Amino acid sequence: MTQEMDRLTTPAAPNRRLVQFLFAYTLIIAVSNLVWEIAHAPLYTIWIDGTRSEIAFAIAHCTLGDVLIAAFSVSIAWLITSRGGWPNTHYWRVAGLSVLFGLAYTVFSEWLNISVRESWAYRETMPTIGPLETGVSPLLQWLILPSLTFAWLKSAMRW
């Protein structure tokens, strides 16, 4: 009877871990990106030109976008590299690819919204790099926050 119970409950463990990981990842990404968005808001022209409610809306809007980008990035990375057994297996492959997708989308989004749509603009205090003159702060945001989150969760959840 015990072996039958183990057989019935064992497949649920990886699913439970996946759900726990996704919940923790989303929560940490949301909070850390909110803090980052607040901290780097002065690097955009809205900080000078916008009202307090416009700035607050922009921060909330961008944070929600960050959560969606993170969710999409980790989902696509998971689909490409390791559907079965993750996060127990192929953890760093998914993490690395997810960070790369987030960075790639950030370069595209910053270019699209600054150069094409002119939805927002950098102040002169925003350092930029590359031919598309992408802001350093959004690039660091998508390099640092997901990387630290993946590293911390790997350690904290003991995978």
- How far is 33 from 107, CA to CA, in rounded Å? 17
Model pLDDT, residue 8: 45
Per residue in 108-156, pLDDT tens? 999 999 999 999 999 999 999 999 999 999 999 999 999 999 999 999 9
Answer yes or no: is pLDDT of 46 > 80.
yes
Task: From 122, 109, 8, 40, select the one nearest 68 (Cα to Cα).
Answer: 109
Going by C-beta distance under 8 Å and a sequence separation of 6 or more, which residues neighbour residue 60? none
Model pLDDT, residue 104: 97
- How far is 138 from 44, CA to CA, in rounded Å? 11
85, 60 contact by CB (below 8 A): no
Per residue in 7-20, pLDDT tens? 444 555 667 888 89
Model pLDDT, residue 14: 60
Phi then psi for residue 82, to 5 deg, are -160, 95
| Model confidence, pTM | 0.87
Q: In the 8-state DSSP scheme, what is residue 128?
A: E
CA angle, 31 then 75 then 118, to 5°:
65
Model pLDDT, residue 88: 82
CA 82 distance to own-chain centroid: 19
Task: From 135, 118, 117, 115, select the one nearest 127 (Cα to Cα).
Answer: 135
Going by C-beta distance under 8 Å and a sequence separation of 6 or more, which residues neighbour residue 119? 113
Per residue in 59-103, pLDDT tens? 999 999 999 999 999 999 999 986 677 888 889 999 999 999 999
- The stretches of 41-125 forming alpha helices (DSSP H) are 46-49, 52-81, 91-111
Model pLDDT, residue 11: 52
How many residues make up the chain in this entry? 159
